Amino acid sequence: MTTVGAVLAEVTGRLQKAGIPSARLDARMLLAHVLEIPVTAIFSHPEKPISDEEEARVRQVAERRLQREPMSHIVGHREFWSLSFKVTADTLDPRPDTETVVEAVLAALPDRRAPLRLLDFGTGSGCILLSLLRELPEATGIGIDISPAALSVARENAKALGLQFRAGFVLGHWGQGVEPAYDVIVANPPYIPDGEIDALEDEVALYEPRGALAGGIDGLGCYRALAPDIARLLKPGGLAALEVGKGQAEAVGRILLDRGLGFFAVRRDLAGVERCVMVKRQMA
């Protein structure tokens, strides 16, 4: 029988040797996951004994991480907007960059207690829609996704957050069959050019659902498909906020403006990248 500290040191070393930048943090999270204890307990009780069975389980999950499987897939969840979201191989892993969309919408709304209607295209885990609903207590929303498996995850997340009665999830392809009108439309559509996906880090290229990444030859295909739906489904005065890839903000803005939507703002993420394009539908 060994101890938490000894196993932590071994797993950290193996992950570092494999070139994983977050080796120490990942090792702590893996141990906490297997032992079902808070990460803080890894620090405070390194002398805690680990059974042979627990050690074997730690080695199993460490091997998965050594194969570059994302931590969120291994532990089954990811924090987003200070909320815990279930994540599977069927959903895009929520990233801090995407919180920019939530921030942008909230900053643009004059009244967070208004009975708003929200629409989320390509909802995946539901992280954007559900985070907004947590901040907008009178709002309701619909999340649309082409993946039944992703929708199942989103429904689980809504229930876990107590939002199942204000959030609905619908199988569909963008705005087909959706009736107007919505106060807020959000989306994090696929925006990686098809030819660049295989060059992404292994955690993304090998494990993320390709349909949630591939944005066509130039990465803008989904924005072109979404633009007419957004123009049709937004209420007059309504707001749309879309995540974009690095260097895409101007092109996405033009696509939306060509559909008669009015430019509102571009919001940068914490790294200074133009990450969210916002447009409004003009008042009638």
Tell me: do 95 and 12 sit in the same domain.
Answer: no
Number of domains the chain is built from: 2
Which whole number is the average pLDDT over 21-37?
A: 92
pLDDT band at residue 75, thresholds of 50, 70 and 90?
very high
Query: Is 137 marked as binding a ligand?
Result: no
Residue 219 located in a structural domain: yes
Name the CA radius of gyration of the chain, rounded.
Answer: 21
Query: Is 81 marked as binding a ligand?
Result: no
pLDDT band at residue 41, thresholds of 50, 70 and 90?
confident
Query: Is 76 marked as binding a ligand?
Result: no
Residue 86 located in a structural domain: yes
Residue 72 located in a structural domain: no
Q: Which of 15, 46, 67 is the last residue of a domain?
A: 67
Q: Report pLDDT digits (tens) over 76-89.
A: 999 999 999 999 99
Q: Report pLDDT digits (tens) over 98-148.
A: 999 999 999 999 999 999 999 999 999 999 999 999 999 999 999 999 999
How many alpha carbons fall within 13 Å on the CB side of residue 223?
31
Residue 108 located in a structural domain: yes
Query: Is 190 marked as binding a ligand?
Result: yes
Look up the CATH number of the domain holding residue 43: 1.10.8.10
pLDDT band at residue 43, thresholds of 50, 70 and 90?
confident
Query: Is 125 marked as binding a ligand?
Result: yes
Residue 17 located in a structural domain: yes
Q: Which of 67, 92, 121 is the last residue of a domain?
A: 67
Tell me: do 126 and 207 sit in the same domain.
Answer: yes
Query: Looking at the predicted structure, is the pLDDT value of residue 26 above 90?
Result: yes
Look up the CATH number of the domain holding residue 117: 3.40.50.150
| Per-residue pLDDT at 263 | 84
Tell me: do 115 and 217 sit in the same domain.
Answer: yes
Residue 204 located in a structural domain: yes
Tell me: do 34 and 128 sit in the same domain.
Answer: no
Query: Is 157 marked as binding a ligand?
Result: no
Name beta bridge partners: 121. Answer: 144, 187
Q: Report pLDDT digits (tens) over 254-271.
A: 999 999 999 889 999 999
Tell me: do 103 and 162 sit in the same domain.
Answer: yes
Query: Is 122 marked as binding a ligand?
Result: yes
Query: Is 124 marked as binding a ligand?
Result: yes
Residue 232 located in a structural domain: yes
Query: Is 145 marked as binding a ligand?
Result: yes
β-pairing, 77-80 with 83-86? antiparallel
Q: Tell me the two tokens of residue 19.
A: 């070139």
Tell me: do 57 and 116 sit in the same domain.
Answer: no
Which whole number is the average pLDDT over 188-217?
A: 93
| Per-residue pLDDT at 284 | 65
Tell me: do 132 and 23 sit in the same domain.
Answer: no
Tell me: do 59 and 81 sit in the same domain.
Answer: no
- How far apart, in Å, do the first and last CA atoms of the chain sit? 72
Tell me: do 116 and 57 sit in the same domain.
Answer: no
Which whole number is the average pLDDT over 34-60?
A: 88
Q: Which of 67, 93, 115 is the last residue of a domain?
A: 67
pTM surpassing 0.95? no
Residue 32 located in a structural domain: yes
| Per-residue pLDDT at 282 | 82
Tell me: do 176 and 273 sit in the same domain.
Answer: yes
- For 46-76, b/e burial (b = at least 16 CB within 10 A) is eeeebeeebbebbeebbeebeebbbbbbbbe
Tell me: do 160 and 116 sit in the same domain.
Answer: yes
**Residues sharing a CB contact under 8 Å with residue 123, sequence separation 6 or more, in sequence order:** 129, 143, 144, 145, 150, 151, 154, 169
| 12 or 46: which leads in pLDDT | 12
Query: Is 88 marked as binding a ligand?
Result: no
Domain that holds residue 9: 2-67
Tell me: do 108 and 218 sit in the same domain.
Answer: yes
Q: Report pLDDT digits (tens) over 164-196.
A: 999 999 999 999 999 999 999 999 999 999 999
Which whole number is the average pLDDT over 62-83?
A: 95
